[in-house]
């Protein structure tokens, strides 16, 4: 069995995303990660399946490691994979932002949870809830 490539999107740095130093503003790296996470969730069926259950995904923490700068006109691939651990109320989505020449520009690790939208509380067992929502877990995990 061959391993699946992680889910990814393509981005291109626009002039209004630059900081005064001429490189991509730090907050935009986070936006690129969020775009990839959202697109993966939609492609895997997470958003639709969970909303029917009255559950939404919430961001609890995000950590970024900047490796190489990106400048105006640079193009990159933003990959996204999910990780789950048993008995945790949280799960993780990892992004790698890689320029077209293969240079890793940034790595983002996000901690997420599933929130009961009525009670406004995290629900246990995110992997089971996501699976029960009919989600493509293999696509979500990049396997």
Which residue, 70, 15, 11, 64, is CA-closest to 39?
A: 11
Alpha-helical runs (H) found in the chain = 26-44, 46-52, 126-132, 137-141
Give the tens place of pLDDT for each residue, 24-67.
Answer: 999 999 999 999 999 998 898 887 788 888 999 999 999 999 99
Give the tens place of pLDDT for each residue, 81-128.
Answer: 999 987 789 999 999 999 999 999 999 999 999 999 999 999 999 999
Alpha-carbon dihedral sign for residues 77, 13, 20, 80: negative
pTM for this predicted structure? 0.91
pLDDT of residue 99: 98
């Amino acid at each position: 069995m061959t391993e699946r490539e992680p889910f990814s999107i393509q981005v291109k740095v626009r002039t209004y995303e630059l900081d005064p130093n001429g490189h991509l503003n730090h907050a935009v790296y986070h936006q690129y990660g969020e775009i990839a996470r959202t697109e993966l969730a939609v492609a895997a069926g997470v958003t639709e399946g969970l909303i029917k259950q009255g559950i939404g995904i919430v961001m609890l923490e995000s950590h970024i490691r900047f490796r190489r700068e990106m400048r105006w006109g640079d193009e990159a691939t933003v990959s996204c994979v999910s990780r789950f651990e048993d008995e945790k109320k949280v799960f993780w989505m990892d992004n790698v932002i890689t320029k077209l020449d293969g240079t890793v520009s940034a790595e983002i690790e996000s901690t997420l949870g599933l929130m009961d939208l009525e009670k406004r509380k995290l629900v246990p067992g995110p992997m089971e809830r996501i699976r029960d929502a009919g989600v493509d877990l293999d696509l979500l995990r990049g396997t």
